[in-house]
Amino acid sequence: MSQTPQGSCCPAPESVPAGRPPAVGTGGRYTISEVAERTGLSAHTLRWYERIGLMPHIDRSHTGQRRFTDRDLTWLDLVGKLRMTGMSVADMVRYAELVRAGEHTYPERRRLLAATREDVLRRIDELRDTLAVLDFKIAHYTGYEDTPAVSEEAATP
Amino acid sequence: MSQTPQGSCCPAPESVPAGRPPAVGTGGRYTISEVAERTGLSAHTLRWYERIGLMPHIDRSHTGQRRFTDRDLTWLDLVGKLRMTGMSVADMVRYAELVRAGEHTYPERRRLLAATREDVLRRIDELRDTLAVLDFKIAHYTGYEDTPAVSEEAATP
DNA sequence: TAGAAGGTTGGAGTGCACTCCAGGCAAGCC
DNA sequence: GGCTTGCCTGGAGTGCACTCCAACCTTCTA
């Protein structure tokens, strides 16, 4: 898998000259604004994510600016997906901590993700229910010209 | 359909004696705590929903206490479903206003729900993506005993 | 008659997830 | 040298969706 912060275990494999025009190669050393653009998150949010421990340690240029790697981007991708499941930021931080803690946390990570998986399945089901209701109502509203006055009665989808 | 607030158009069809032990018949005249229990919303939230215009006019007993009808419950059911799609309370209030405004708002209601429907479809897709990622990671964590040290590399699901 | 239970109100408070601000620093350009 | 751009920091502020509070009222039960 690829969406995993490595904690402070290992420096970025490449050390591109950290000057002004930031490198945008495939190895990746992206500035905060580049990452903001790619992920749709604001720079504020990225800094905040780092501060609360939702990001692994992020490299810095010699002037102290953040340089995100492709690994960071992949992690942010996972974070985005987890976020979408309704997982709280606090729980994601917990997961990030487990990842940083090392491989002995595999069982707990598995439990955490399995629980999330159940949430996702439940959510999908609920959304499908909602879809049925929406379809029913939309159909009703679409053919409204020939419906009587007190129309929205009976027949719950 | 049945999930529709009727605004102030028509009084509840039945007027059960509004005394202390609240009627729990099929016609329904439920107290706020009964509705709280049935819907999982708190009494606070139910009052708040009414205050912000997310509920139709709610009947009162002769002592001024709320008496919810089955119609109210059905509306709350829809509200719950819409809420789950990620629709904001403000948008739901907007929809409630359209419903109160009468049948001439059918086209706009349809548009609003159709947009929501699209959101739901998109969301279901995203959740399915997430599910794939979760399955991949869970599988990895499950067979962790025989994986090498730097294991979470490559192969994004 | 007292007290408990369950309701009422307006308004204040809470928690989450950002979001912004002020003040500052480094690099590049005219 | 001065200006702009882009980033840095700690801490304060924002918006949403509740959630709670204090003071009060009715009705029922002991």
**Which nucleotide has the least CA–C1' distance to A79?**
C17
Q: Which residues contact B145 (CB under 8 A, 6 or more apart)?
A: none
- Quick: pLDDT tens for B70-92: 999 999 999 999 999 999 999 99
Chain B residues in contact with A154 by the CB 8 A cut-off are 1-2
pLDDT greater than 70 at residue B17: no
pLDDT greater than 50 at residue B153: no
Give B66's DSSP letter.
B
What domains lie within chain A, and their CATH numbers? 32-134 (1.10.1660.10)
Q: What does the pLDDT read at residue A70?
A: 93
Q: What does the pLDDT read at residue B29?
A: 87
Q: What does the pLDDT read at residue A27?
A: 59
pLDDT greater than 90 at residue B2: no
- Quick: pLDDT tens for B20-72: 333 333 457 899 999 999 999 999 999 999 999 999 989 999 898 999 999 99
* CA pair distance B137, A48, nearest whole angstrom: 26
Q: What does the pLDDT read at residue A131?
A: 96
> Are A64 and A47 within 8 A, CB to CB?
no
Q: What does the pLDDT read at residue B1?
A: 37
* CA pair distance B136, B142, nearest whole angstrom: 10
Q: What does the pLDDT read at residue B113?
A: 95
Question: A81, B117: Cβ pair inside 8 Å?
Answer: no
Question: B1, A152: Cβ pair inside 8 Å?
Answer: yes
> Are B96 and B55 within 8 A, CB to CB?
yes
Query: How far from B91 is each of A97, A127, B54, B121, CA to CA, in Å?
Result: 37, 18, 10, 18
Tally of residues, chain A:
157
Protein-covered nucleotides on strand C (Cβ within 7 A): 6-10, 16-21, 26-28
Q: How confident is the model at residue B10 (pLDDT cuts 50, 70, 90)?
A: very low
Q: What does the pLDDT read at residue A62?
A: 87
Q: Tell me the CA–C1' distance in angstroms for B145 and C14.
A: 44
- Quick: pLDDT tens for B93-145: 999 999 999 999 999 999 999 999 999 999 999 999 999 999 999 999 987 65
> Which stretches of chain A score pLDDT less than 70?
1-27, 144-157
**Which nucleotide has the least CA–C1' distance to A90?**
C16
